[in-house]
Amino acid sequence: MVNAMSAGGRLHGRVARVGIAIVALTALVAMRPVRAYEVATVTNGGSIEGVVTLSGSAPATTPIKVTKNQDYCGQAIPDPVYTVDGSGGLANVIVFLKDITKGKAAPTEPLALVNSKCMFSPRAQGAMVSEQVKISSEDTVLHNTHPQNADTNATIFNVALPFKGFSVTKPLPSMPMMIKVKCDAHEWMHAWIMELDHPYYATTGADGHFTIKDVPPGTYTLAVWHEAAGANTAPVTVAAGQTTKSKITLAAK
Ligand SMILES: [Cu+2]
């Protein structure tokens, strides 16, 4: 986290929190046994419907100060890190099964990552290893999309998006990893992609809710990860054709 050395206090704090979250994720990934995921037809699978809530109140945030292209991006952008609704539902949490070895195939549509209003959208999402990601821009200013392995900072690729409507489709790496995406032109632009070796993941919406479908019946560990609030897990049992409800909390850091 080199930037933490040079950034100001508020940013420093946030980068430190992100660092803690990455460490927590690394621990989660490291606990997983090494084995290949097997694609199989899922008949009469179940669903997991749940909500991730933030315990306590979210830390006060100040808007991100725009330091470049202010004529297009504006002077300030709301800080999206803790996006919490009136019921405590936390958005942009990646939810995934930790110990599933067999099940549905990868999504057929490529992942989307959009440069929009001088931010990346979505902020956080899961992906399956080697999945294609379509990167596009809705902005008239130059962005670049620069994903890095969050643990090593190794660059995965770096594509410039010079104008509105431009898009590039690229494959993600073939190994599970946490990917941190940045735009080198606008230092406040960040996104997170968690690459897994299976397709059982979801991201919480604005109300903190998520759904994972077509899960083979069984007992699993449901894991959640948020860029600042860190990680948590809960056991979940899925019955054939049934919907299992789940509620997980994260604590603000
Ligand atoms: Cu940018």
Q: How remote is the CA of residue 106 from the centroid of ligand 1, in Å?
A: 29
Ligand 1 centroid – CA 73 distance (Å): 10
Residue 21 has what pLDDT? Answer: 53
Model confidence, pTM: 0.86
Q: Mind giving me the DSSP string for 106-129?
A: PPSSPEEEEEETTEEESSEEEEET
| Residue 143 Cα to ligand 1 middle (Å) | 4
pLDDT score of 14: 52
Position 35 scores a pLDDT of 62
| Stretch among 9-13, 43-47, 90-94 having the lowest mean pLDDT | 9-13
| C-alpha 120 – ligand 1 centre gap (Å) | 8
CA of 97 to the centre of ligand 1 (A): 32
Question: What average pLDDT score do residues 225-242 get?
Answer: 97
Model pLDDT for residues 167-193, shown as the tens digit of each residue: 999 999 999 999 999 999 999 999 999
160: CA distance to ligand 1 center in Å? Answer: 9
30: phi then psi, degrees, rounded to nearest 5: -65, -30
Reply yes or no on whether the pLDDT at 26 is more than 60: no
Which residues face 102 on adjacent strands? 38
CB atoms within 5 A of ion ligand 1 belong to: 143, 183, 185-186, 189
Per-residue pLDDT tens over the stretch 92-149: 999 999 989 999 999 999 999 999 999 999 999 999 999 999 999 999 999 999 999 9
Ligand 1 centroid–CA 60 distance in Å is 25
Q: What is the mean pLDDT of residues 208-230?
A: 97
Residue 166: pLDDT band (50, 70, 90) is: very high
State the chain's mean pLDDT as an integer.
90
Q: What is the pLDDT of residue 253?
A: 85
Least confidently predicted of 19-23, 40-44, 208-212: 19-23
Taking the centre of ligand 1 as the mean of its atom positions, its distance from the CA of residue 124, in whole angstroms, is 17
Res 44 pLDDT > 90: yes
Residue 182 CA, ligand 1 centroid: distance in Å = 8
Joined together, the tokens standing for residue 209 give: 């809710």
Inform me whether the pLDDT recorded for 208 exceeds 60: yes
Q: How confident is the model at residue 57 (pLDDT cuts 50, 70, 90)?
A: confident
Instruction: Give the length of the chain.
Output: 253
CATH topology of domain 3-251: Immunoglobulin-like (2.60.40)
Query: Rounded distance, CA 213 to CA 49, Å?
Result: 9
Going from N- to C-terminal start, the domains of the chain cover: 3-251
